[in-house]
């Protein structure tokens, strides 16, 4: 049985807490590894190593730090297949989807090559008599990231790449469900030229998370996961005086207007709702057709497409649409919520609960389900299902549809499908959601823009990647300097003004 420890000071080290967690192959249900779960003393040791290494790294000029990112891009391309296979084996994603996970992280690494430009300060010559003023963007010190199981390559890179290129050391606490890829990424960073100790991977559970929150050396925490845990980490981290950004759950709505291209809508919904078995915070889980005719046409077109989805293991070929969910517990929760939808009166147009794959009966596979006539008081609407389930909530008018989206407690992503530019513009301007798609089902911004939701989907005032990342992982120091040129005015006991 493979034993997965931690990556500390450039070395793979065994855990010392005596606690471990099983790592599964979701396609077969078998345990393929055991991962160590760190205690506070192990986290403290990793932080001490990071703190000792960080000052010398921060002292390097940004161009030299950016060259590590240049090399990392090359290594990610070189090892793309290896990373995707490891990701698929522990998560269950198809190989093309796993490669996409790596690529969307790689794009942030590419963006970080521009660090010398992003880290420039400001300068004012002659701000006063003999006075110059300038600002510097300086590293925070030791930063930490707590990342989820559903994107074990992309989200760690969203955090550690900008943090490190800004001159920080970084402690990554990945999900214990699929820890191999984060460990591989840390090794690649050092192969790219990162000094030992700047990036550490400490595997663990809540005990490791609490150690991060409590550690006085750690200056910032990034988190992606469920809303309750996001609130817990945000509250604890802020109370400890840290800079914190936490991204939580979602219930993403897609409004379908009567004039929308229905073929395009169905293609978009199928991929955005059922890709990665629905285990995406940006999955479109609620379709909101406007008008009875639109809704009837949508359901009629969706049913055969949902029924024909091919579900299988990542080894099943590139024509597999999606694989298993990550654990048996996740499978049970999804099936339970589907049953609750039936019990509460929704119309189950396609029932995926009975899906079983020959030869993989012990795998965590869940069939695709499609609901119609869902109402906002039902559990399948109120809860984030995080599985291959699409709920259809019918709206009589555009005003009803936009109110439905705006009243929801989550505000991660949303989309509208229409041919009318005025409607699309109105929707984009009015909707209280952080990321908006116009005829785009999963509006995840590219690396040079920022990613972040609103309402209960995000906690903190800065988004991930893009320019916000360089703001989050640095603090600004402003210097006012004066070099007297012979004039002596004596002491001044009033606040200086620009008279």
Tell me what the mean pLDDT of segment 156-183 comes to: 98
**Which is nearest to 157 in space by CA: 231, 100, 233?**
100
Digit-coded pLDDT (tens) for 301-327:
999 999 999 999 999 988 999 999 999
Domain spans, the chain? 2-248+457-479, 252-438
How much of the chain, in percent, has pLDDT values that exceed 70? 98
> CATH second-level architecture of 252-438?
3-Layer(aba) Sandwich (3.40)
DSSP 304-328: HHHHT--B--GGG-TT--B---S-H
Residue written as token pair 């229905």: 262
Can 143 be counted among the known catalytic residues? Answer: no
Radius of gyration for the alpha carbons in the chain, expressed in angstroms and rounded: 25
Band of residue 492 on the pLDDT scale cut at 50, 70, 90: confident
pLDDT of 489 higher than 80:
no
Instruction: Confirm if 313 and 27 have CB atoms less than 8 A apart.
Output: yes
DSSP 226-295: -HHHHHHHHHHHHHTT-EEEEE----EEEEE-TTS-HHHHHHHHHHHHHGGGG--TT-EEEEEEBSHHHH
Band of residue 491 on the pLDDT scale cut at 50, 70, 90: confident
Tell me what the mean pLDDT of segment 11-16 comes to: 96
Residue written as token pair 């049985």: 1
- Please state, in angstroms and rounded to a whole number, the distance separating the CA atoms of residues 37 and 21: 7
- Please state, in angstroms and rounded to a whole number, the distance separating the CA atoms of residues 202 and 17: 12
Residue 182: predicted pLDDT: 98
Instruction: Confirm if 266 and 302 have CB atoms less than 8 A apart.
Output: yes
Please tell me the total number of residues recorded for the chain in this structure: 499
Band of residue 46 on the pLDDT scale cut at 50, 70, 90: very high
Question: Hey, is 484 helix, strand or coil?
Answer: coil
From 112, 143, 166, 281, the catalytic residue? 281
Residue 230: predicted pLDDT: 97
Tell me what the mean pLDDT of segment 262-270 comes to: 97
Tell me what the mean pLDDT of segment 15-35 comes to: 98
Task: Output the pTM of the full model.
Answer: 0.95
Tell me what the mean pLDDT of segment 39-54 comes to: 98
pLDDT of 328 higher than 70:
yes
Band of residue 369 on the pLDDT scale cut at 50, 70, 90: very high
How much of the chain, in percent, has pLDDT values that exceed 90? 95
Average confidence score pLDDT of the chain = 96
Pairing state between β 131-139 and 474-482: antiparallel
pLDDT of 128 higher than 90:
no
Residue 484: predicted pLDDT: 74
**Ranges assigned E (strand) in 293-388:** 347-350, 369-372
CATH of region 2-248+457-479, choose from 3.40.605.10, 2.30.30.60, 3.30.310.80, 3.30.70.1350: 3.40.605.10
- Please state, in angstroms and rounded to a whole number, the distance separating the CA atoms of residues 13 and 197: 13
Residue 132: predicted pLDDT: 94
**Ranges assigned E (strand) in 378-425:** 389-392, 410-411, 413-417
pLDDT of 499 higher than 60:
no
The strand pairing partners of 172, in sequence order, are 145, 201
């Amino acid at each position: 049985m493979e034993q997965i420890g931690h990556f500390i000071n450039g070395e793979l080290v065994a855990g010392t807490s005596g606690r471990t967690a099983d790592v599964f192959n979701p396609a077969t249900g078998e345990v393929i590894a055991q991962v160590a779960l760190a205690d506070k003393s192990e986290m403290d040791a990793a932080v001490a190593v990071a703190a000792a290494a960080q000052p010398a790294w921060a002292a390097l000029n940004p161009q030299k730090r950016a060259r590590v990112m240049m090399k990392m891009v090359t290594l990610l391309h070189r090892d793309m297949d290896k990373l995707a296979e490891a990701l698929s084996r522990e998560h269950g994603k198809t190989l093309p989807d796993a490669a996409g996970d790596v690529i969307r992280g790689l794009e942030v690494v590419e963006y970080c090559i521009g660090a010398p430009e992003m880290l420039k300060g400001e300068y004012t010559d002659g701000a006063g008599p003999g006075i110059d003023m300038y600002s510097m963007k300086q590293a925070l010190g030791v930063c930490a990231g707590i990342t989820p199981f559903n994107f074990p390559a992309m989200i760690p890179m969203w955090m550690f790449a900008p943090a490190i290129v800004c001159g920080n050391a970084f402690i990554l606490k990945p999900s214990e469900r699929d820890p191999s890829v984060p460990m591989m990424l840390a090794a690649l960073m050092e192969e790219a030229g990162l000094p030992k100790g700047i990036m550490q991977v400490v595997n663990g559970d809540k005990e490791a998370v609490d150690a991060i929150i409590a550690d006085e050396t750690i200056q910032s925490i990034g988190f992606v996961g469920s809303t309750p845990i996001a609130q817990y980490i945000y509250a604890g981290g802020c109370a400890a005086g840290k800079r914190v950004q936490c991204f939580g759950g979602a219930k993403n709505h897609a409004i379908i207007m009567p004039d929308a291209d229905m073929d395009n809508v169905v293609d978009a919904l199928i991929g955005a709702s059922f890709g990665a078995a629905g285990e995406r915070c940006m999955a479109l889980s609620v379709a909101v057709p406007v008008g009875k005719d639109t809704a009837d046409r949508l359901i009629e077109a969706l049913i055969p497409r949902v029924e024909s989805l091919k579900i299988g293991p990542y080894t099943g070929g590139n024509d597999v649409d999606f694989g298993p969910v990550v654990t048996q517990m996740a499978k049970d929760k999804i099936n339970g919520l589907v049953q609750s939808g039936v019990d509460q009166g929704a119309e189950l147009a396609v029932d995926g609960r009975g899906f079983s794959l020959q030869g993989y009966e012990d795998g965590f596979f869940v069939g695709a389900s499609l609901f119609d006539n869902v109402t906002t008081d039902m559990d399948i609407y109120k809860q984030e299902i995080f599985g291959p389930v699409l709920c259809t909530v019918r709206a009589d008018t555009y005003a009803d549809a936009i109110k439905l989206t705006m009243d929801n407690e989550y505000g991660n992503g949303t989309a509208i499908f229409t041919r009318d530019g005025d409607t699309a513009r109105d929707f984009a301007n009015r909707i209280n959601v952080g990321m908006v798609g116009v005829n785009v089902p999963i509006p995840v911004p590219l690396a040079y823009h920022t990613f972040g939701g609103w309402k209960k989907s995000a906690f903190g005032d800065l988004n991930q990647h893009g320019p916000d990342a360089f703001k989050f992982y640095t603090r600004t120091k402003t210097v006012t300097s004066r070099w007297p040129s012979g004039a002596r005015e004596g002491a001044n006991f009033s606040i200086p003004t620009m008279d």
